[in-house]
Chain A
Amino acid sequence: MAMSMNRRVFKWSTWLGWQLESNWTDPFPFIIYSIAKPIAGSLILVVMYSIIAGIGGQTDVGLFHYMYVSNAFFMFVAQVLFGITWVIHDDREHYRTLKYLYISPSNFFVYMLGRTISKLLVTTFAVIITMAFGVFFLGVPLDILGVNWLLFIVVMFIGLACVMSFGLALAGISFLTAKHSMGMNEGVAGIFYMFCGVIFPISILPGWGITLAKTLPVTYWLELIRRTLGLGEGIDTALASISTVDCMLILTISTIVFAVISVGVFKLGDYVARSKGLIDMTTAY
């Protein structure tokens, strides 16, 4: 009975999330919108690299592939983190449905997972478009036949579970914060952007930065993606000595640990918000 209920909640919250993402416009503007943003984000790096290469700086094309691929897949981190936490603010203050969700017999945790899936779908489309743009227009040498797809799928599955865990933890904190604390999502994504080897190798960070980077699962997730796609691998000397099996092991264990912590943070945030009467808080300034 409970399983059947959770399945329905998951299905309809995914559908709701998809409608919120996509039905504000016609399909054509929606596709343009979905393409323009990620491509522009990647082109910033392309222009930065090209200018510096043009005036005689670093011209290692491997570094460019490293930046491009990691930045494309980092969209999952940024979008999912932002998406999950925004569900709390949007449902609480904008649509003011959070309290009704609470008094319904549905499992709120399952509802949150469902809303995240729609965000994942939109982001997957953006990542595919960005990679295709890189391959066809920027000469990113992706050898589709050479990719270890099985490993890639496993890595993606674990990595996304990890990112969703972080998102749920932030959602738990969002129960207690005001609408304008979007900076929190931006900031946590910024920590990953800075310390996980997204647009530069972690080897150029100071010693403490490398140590911190090596404790974050996203670092290993991105490294594994680069290795499975055969793009930008070996550029990061701080990670080159860690074997693929070890990277997988670290990613899996840290994901499990972070998932347990995230569920705890989510439940704690939920409990404190209810104790303090913050479930229907509005912060309209």
Chain B
Amino acid sequence: MKFEENYEKPSWAVMNLRTAFGRAYPRIIGVNREPSWVFFDTFFPILSIAAYIYVYTALQAPPQYLGYVVIGGAMTAYWMNVLWGMAAQLYWEKEMGNLELYMVAPISRMAILGGMAIGGMFTSTVRAVTTILAGIYIFNITLTLEEPLMFVGIFIFTMTALYGMGMMFASMYMLWGREAWHMSNLLTEPIYLVSGFYFPVKGFQFLLGDPGFWLAVGASIIPVTLGLDGMRQCFFGPADGFLPLWVELFCLIILTVIFIILARFSLDYMENLAKKEGRLTLKWQ
């Protein structure tokens, strides 16, 4: 009784901020306690990206294409983090037994996922920055930021839309067993292809005409498609751009709102469904 009388319950906002911080903290601290991570997650991924740079060199591509690969390669860090560190994480938490603890805590699920996103963004940003620096200093790629304000806007809204999408996926993955693992696997190369991680997405239009244009429009549902195209335009100009920059920024803002709202509803719906079907604590399916 004494404890309850003296205990001042934090406000909803403070409690959820603490939650987000509490979930981000072990990610940042955890990886820093594992020094192998720095080497494995920063140096090694550069090699795959370097391979694509050499492909363009072998094909005698114009120099900006090497820059497109570097920016695409940097963004793979965020996409992988959304797939494995956000979407598949609730599945992993369920398997580890943490999910039930989250469920009984008086906190928003969005705050937990927000914390995961912040923690994951830290590691992804280290990897992305390393990739960009490798592109500049090892492959002598010139990156001149022609539209700095637009770049900041596009980057921020790409990230929020992307992690909003990750939260939405997480709600679905909460229900799944090993399907979650395989779905993340499936969303790697096919998304690299349709979102144009290693070539400008306008290339579809160039190769296929109108169907290619509509393919790129369809791929734009994934925020990283327009985000990548916008960032490339900010560095290399609009020659290979898919849509005008302001249109891409506007679409990203719309996608951000849609994915955050969808994530909110989807989390509630899937949580209820998982409870009804008794799958919240079901492990090793």
Q: A interface vs B, CB < 8 Å?
A: 20, 24-25, 33, 36-38, 40-41, 43-45, 47-55, 57-58, 63, 67, 93-95, 177-178, 180-184, 186-191, 193-194, 198-201, 204-205, 282-285
Among B36, B45, B51, B98, which residue has its beta carbon within 8 angstroms of that of A178? B36
- Is the CB–CB distance between A55 and B62 below 8 Å? yes
The 8 closest A-B pairs by CB, nearest first: A187-B44, A190-B47, A285-B30, A183-B40, A24-B178, A183-B41, A40-B190, A200-B58
Residues of A within 8 A of B27 (CB): 285
Residues of A within 8 A of B40 (CB): 177, 181, 183-184, 186-187
Question: Quick check: is B203 within 8 A (CB to CB) of the other chain?
Answer: yes
Instruction: Provide 24 A-B residue pairs closer than 8 Å at the C-beta atoms, listed in order of the A residue.
Output: A24-B285, A25-B179, A33-B185, A33-B186, A40-B193, A43-B193, A45-B55, A47-B203, A48-B52, A50-B203, A55-B62, A58-B59, A93-B96, A94-B284, A177-B36, A178-B37, A180-B37, A181-B34, A187-B47, A194-B47, A200-B51, A204-B54, A282-B96, A284-B92
Distance of A225 from chain B, by nearest CB (Å): 18
- Is the CB–CB distance between B48 and A193 below 8 Å? yes
C-alpha gap A179/B285 in the complex (Å):
20
Give B39-65 as 1s and 0s: 1 = Cβ < 8 Å from A's Cβ atoms: 011011111101110111111111001
Residues of B within 8 A of A43 (CB): 193
- Is the CB–CB distance between A199 and B199 below 8 Å? no
Give B169-194 as 1s and 0s: 1 = Cβ < 8 Å from A's Cβ atoms: 00000000111011001101110110
- Is the CB–CB distance between B34 and A37 below 8 Å? no
Among A51, A180, A181, A199, which residue has its beta carbon within 8 angstroms of that of B51? A199
Distance of B76 from chain A, by nearest CB (Å): 10
Q: A37-B188, A184-B36 are in contact. Are A47 and B193 (CB under 8 A)?
A: yes
Chain A residue nearest in CB terms to B177 = A24
Question: Quick check: is B26 within 8 A (CB to CB) of the other chain?
Answer: yes
Distance of B74 from chain A, by nearest CB (Å): 15
Distance of A138 from chain B, by nearest CB (Å): 13
Question: Quick check: is B157 within 8 A (CB to CB) of the other chain?
Answer: no
- Is the CB–CB distance between B58 and A201 below 8 Å? yes
- Is the CB–CB distance between B192 and A40 below 8 Å? yes
Question: Quick check: is B104 within 8 A (CB to CB) of the other chain?
Answer: no
Secondary structure dominating the interface of B: helix
New contact pairs (4) apart from A181-B36, A181-B41, A187-B44, CB-CB < 8 Å: A36-B186, A178-B37, A191-B47, A199-B54
C-alpha gap A52/B182 in the complex (Å):
33
Question: Quick check: is B95 within 8 A (CB to CB) of the other chain?
Answer: yes
Question: Quick check: is B207 within 8 A (CB to CB) of the other chain?
Answer: yes
Among A25, A180, A187, A198, which residue has its beta carbon within 8 angstroms of that of B34? A180
Chain A residue nearest in CB terms to B31 = A180
Residue of B45, B54, B93, B200 contacting most chain A CB atoms (<10 Å): B54
- Is the CB–CB distance between B203 and A205 below 8 Å? no
C-alpha gap A205/B138 in the complex (Å):
13
Question: Quick check: is B206 within 8 A (CB to CB) of the other chain?
Answer: yes
Distance of A183 from chain B, by nearest CB (Å): 4
C-alpha gap A152/B79 in the complex (Å):
38
- Is the CB–CB distance between A194 and B50 below 8 Å? yes
C-alpha gap A282/B26 in the complex (Å):
14
Within 8 A of A (CB), among B95-136: 95-96, 98
- Is the CB–CB distance between A63 and B189 below 8 Å? no
Question: Quick check: is B78 within 8 A (CB to CB) of the other chain?
Answer: no
- Is the CB–CB distance between A94 and B192 below 8 Å? no
- Is the CB–CB distance between B54 and A200 below 8 Å? yes
Residues of B within 8 A of A193 (CB): 47-48, 51
- Is the CB–CB distance between B51 and A50 below 8 Å? no
Question: Quick check: is B198 within 8 A (CB to CB) of the other chain?
Answer: yes
Residues of A within 8 A of B188 (CB): 37
Residues of B within 8 A of A188 (CB): 44
- Is the CB–CB distance between B31 and A198 below 8 Å? no
Among A24, A184, A284, which residue has its beta carbon within 8 angstroms of that of B96? A284
Residues of B within 8 A of A49 (CB): 59
Residues of A within 8 A of B200 (CB): 51
Chain A residue nearest in CB terms to B26 = A285
- Is the CB–CB distance between A24 and B26 below 8 Å? no
C-alpha gap A50/B189 in the complex (Å):
18
- Is the CB–CB distance between B199 and A183 below 8 Å? no
- Is the CB–CB distance between B193 and A57 below 8 Å? no
Distance of B237 from chain A, by nearest CB (Å): 16
C-alpha gap A174/B193 in the complex (Å):
30
Q: A177-B36, A183-B37 are in contact. Are A48 and B59 (CB under 8 A)?
A: yes
- Is the CB–CB distance between B186 and A52 below 8 Å? no
Distance of A75 from chain B, by nearest CB (Å): 11
Among B45, B56, B185, B186, which residue has its beta carbon within 8 angstroms of that of A190? B45
Chain A residue nearest in CB terms to B30 = A285
Residues of A within 8 A of B37 (CB): 178, 180-181, 183
Residues of B within 8 A of A180 (CB): 30-31, 34, 37, 41
Distance of B55 from chain A, by nearest CB (Å): 5
Residues of A within 8 A of B58 (CB): 58, 63, 200-201, 204
